[in-house]
Chain A
Amino acid sequence: MHKVLLGKTRKADKLVPYLILAMVLLFTLFPLYWMIITSFKTPLEFVARDIAWIPTPITLGHYGEVVEEGFMRFFVNTIIIAVFSTILAVTAGALAAYSLTRFRFRAKFDKLFLLWAIIVRIIPPIVFLTPLFITFRELGLDDVRLRLILSYQVYVLPLCVWLLLGFFRDVPIEFEEAAQVDGASRIFTLRTVVFPLIAPGLVAAAIFSIITTWNEFIYALIFARVSADFTIPVGIATLIGEYEVLWGALSAAGFLSSLPILIFTVYVQKHLLRSFAKRGVLRG
Chain B
Amino acid sequence: MTDRAPQPTTAAANPPVQPLASNLLPSDVVRASAMPHITAPDRQLTKVAKLIDVSKCIGCKACQSACAEWNDTSPEIGENVGLYENPADLSSEMFTLMRYAEYENPATNELEWLIRKEGCMHCEDPGCLRACPAPGAIVQYSNGIVDFIHENCIGCGYCVTGCPFDVPRISPVKHVSTKCTLCSDRVAMGQGPACAKACPTQAITFGTKEAMIAHAEERIEDLKSRGYENAGLYDPQGVGGTHVMYVLHHADQPSLYSGLPDDPQIAPIVEDWKGPAKKVGLAAIGLAAVGAALHGIFARPLKVEPEDEEDAEGLVEAAERRAREDRA
Do A and B originate from a single complex? Answer: no
